[in-house]
């Protein structure tokens, strides 16, 4: 497609017309992937909000994220106003304060297989970020920042859909490379069959740690909700502090994540470990509600009924995503991750789960990678790649 045939529409979700454009933005990915069985969209409410249910969308101006961030949206359309692509660009001031850099982000990137469309979207994002004083563009990074898996799917296109793992077509990688973006980090996920016999090495390590150290393990219900929130926030921010791109959670945003999670949570998938009574780490999993969110029947295309199906069906899903974890830095030499995985596997087997996805593991996280390799029949499932490039003056 000729560049002259592509028109970029920029908006900020502030006016009534912006809200109409935002609905087009959100709907586009469904149009693009409507015949792809590996694609499962989030509920539109998660982007746009739903006041009657008390849901604040990722893109709504009163979302907590925008207390410390700025965002703009881009649509790419042709001469007939038909959608060709979309993306957003944002500046996360807390990220730049934490890391002392000038990185701006693009996210929710979707495009037809045309380099000219991708280039128009990335260039528009880059120019806006440059106006905001940024010197680097990085992405794709979808919202919410600390929950959505970062990067572009670059392997695992035919694997099982997992909650909060976004899908994209294989050609996207080539589009970004042609825009001058280069890979800077990879994120892995593995699928593990739950019902395999307990790994002897993992069980031996867990028992040894429990005997030699003043280590105790608790389930979710042994302490109050407020205590659990406080412990998890403290552990998470300590454990992830130096991980690539991580931004420490604020209490109010972390509390909201947990409150939202309670709707579909299997509390027994959360395991907490203490050393001499001090919270040292936790591992948590959430049911793979994407099993309930496939779009096929007429009913599944009605968002309110689809949301109800998720809430009612969460307890019947066959697998879970093991995506919430952390061990405080000062306890990492104690092999507590093996203890946590062992206890969680014992419960998940008793519950009858069939598979577990262990994900959002950075390519330099040797501790988790080596622990995963102890498990039987584990297989690499998905790879996501984060890209960036300098913003030229």
pLDDT digits (tens, 9 = 90+) for 45-68: 889 888 777 778 899 998 999 999
The predicted structure's pLDDT at residue 89 = 98
In whole angstroms, give the CA distance from residue 113 to residue 99. 34
Domain end residue (candidates: 162, 187, 212):
187
Tell me how many domains the chain contains: 2
Domain assignment present for 330:
yes
The boundaries of the domain holding residue 363 are 197-376
What pTM was computed for the model? Answer: 0.92
Least confident of 131-135, 210-214, 321-325: 210-214
Does residue 37 sit in the same domain as residue 165? yes
Domain end residue (candidates: 140, 158, 187):
187
Contacts of 101 (CB under 8 A, 6+ apart): 135, 136
Does residue 164 sit in the same domain as residue 229? no
Does residue 165 sit in the same domain as residue 211? no
The predicted structure's pLDDT at residue 300 = 54
Domain assignment present for 385:
no
Domain assignment present for 390:
no
| 388 and 136 Cβ atoms separated by less than 8 Å | yes
Does residue 73 sit in the same domain as residue 135? yes
What tens digit of pLDDT does each residue of 329-362 get? 999 889 898 889 888 889 999 999 999 999 889 9
User: C-alpha distances in angstroms, 343 versus 203, 248, 347?
Assistant: 9, 27, 7
Domain assignment present for 389:
no
Domain assignment present for 383:
no
Does residue 363 sit in the same domain as residue 242? yes
Which residues in the chain belong to E strands, given as ranges? Answer: 7-11, 69-77, 83-92, 103-111, 136-139, 152-155, 182-193, 215-219, 271-275, 278-287, 319-327, 355-362, 379-390
Angle subtended at Cα 266 by Cα 344 and Cα 148, rounded to the nearest 5 degrees = 90
Does residue 76 sit in the same domain as residue 177? yes
In whole angstroms, give the CA distance from residue 325 to residue 337. 9
Residues 381-391: what's their mean pLDDT? 97
Helices of type H across 132-224: 172-178, 200-212
The three-state secondary structure class of 300 is helix
Does residue 110 sit in the same domain as residue 233? no
The predicted structure's pLDDT at residue 56 = 86
Does residue 95 sit in the same domain as residue 217? no
Does residue 313 sit in the same domain as residue 334? yes
Does residue 223 sit in the same domain as residue 128? no
Does residue 32 sit in the same domain as residue 86? yes
| Residue 288's CATH number | 3.40.630.30
Mean pLDDT score of the chain: 91
Does residue 180 sit in the same domain as residue 315? no
Domain assignment present for 382:
no
């Amino acid at each position: 497609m000729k560049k002259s045939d592509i028109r970029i529409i920029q908006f900020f979700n502030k006016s009534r017309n912006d809200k109409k454009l935002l609905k087009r933005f959100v709907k586009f990915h469904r149009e693009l992937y409507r015949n792809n069985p590996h694609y499962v969209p989030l509920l539109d409410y998660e982007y746009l909000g739903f006041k009657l249910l008390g849901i604040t969308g990722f893109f709504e101006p009163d979302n907590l994220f925008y207390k410390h961030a700025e965002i703009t949206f881009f649509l790419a359309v042709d001469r007939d106003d038909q959608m060709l692509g979309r993306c957003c660009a944002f500046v996360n001031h807390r990220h730049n304060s934490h890391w002392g850099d000038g990185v701006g982000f693009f996210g929710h990137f979707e495009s037809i297989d045309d380099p000219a469309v991708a280039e128009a979207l990335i260039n528009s994002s880059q120019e806006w970020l440059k106006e905001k004083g940024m010197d680097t563009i990085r992405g794709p990074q979808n919202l919410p920042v600390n929950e959505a898996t970062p990067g572009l799917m670059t392997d695992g296109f035919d694997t099982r859909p997992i909650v909060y793992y976004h899908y994209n077509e294989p050609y996207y990688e080539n589009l970004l490379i042609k825009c001058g973006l280069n890979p800077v980090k990879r994120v892995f996920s593995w699928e593990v069959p739950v019902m395999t016999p307990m790994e002897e090495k993992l069980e031996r390590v867990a028992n040894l740690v429990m005997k030699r150290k003043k280590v105790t393990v608790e389930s979710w219900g042994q302490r109050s909700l407020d205590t659990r929130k406080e412990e998890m926030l403290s552990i998470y921010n300590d454990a992830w502090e130096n991980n690539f791109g991580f931004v420490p959670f604020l209490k109010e945003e972390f509390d909201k994540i947990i409150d939202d999670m309670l709707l579909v949570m299997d509390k027994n998938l959360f395991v907490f470990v203490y050393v001499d009574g001090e919270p040292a780490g936790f591992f948590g999993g959430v049911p793979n509600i994407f099993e309930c969110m496939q779009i096929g029947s007429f009913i599944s295309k009605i968002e309110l009924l689809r949301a109800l199906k998720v809430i009612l069906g969460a307890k019947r899903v066959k697998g879970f995503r093991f995506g919430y974890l952390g061990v405080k830095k000062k306890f990492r030499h104690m092999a507590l991750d093996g203890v946590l995985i062992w206890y969680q596997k014992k419960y998940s087997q008793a519950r009858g789960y069939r598979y577990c996805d262990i994900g959002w593991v950075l390519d330099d996280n040797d501790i988790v990678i080596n622990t995963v390799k102890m498990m039987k029949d584990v297989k690499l499932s998905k790879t996501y790649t984060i890209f960036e490039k300098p913003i030229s003056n």
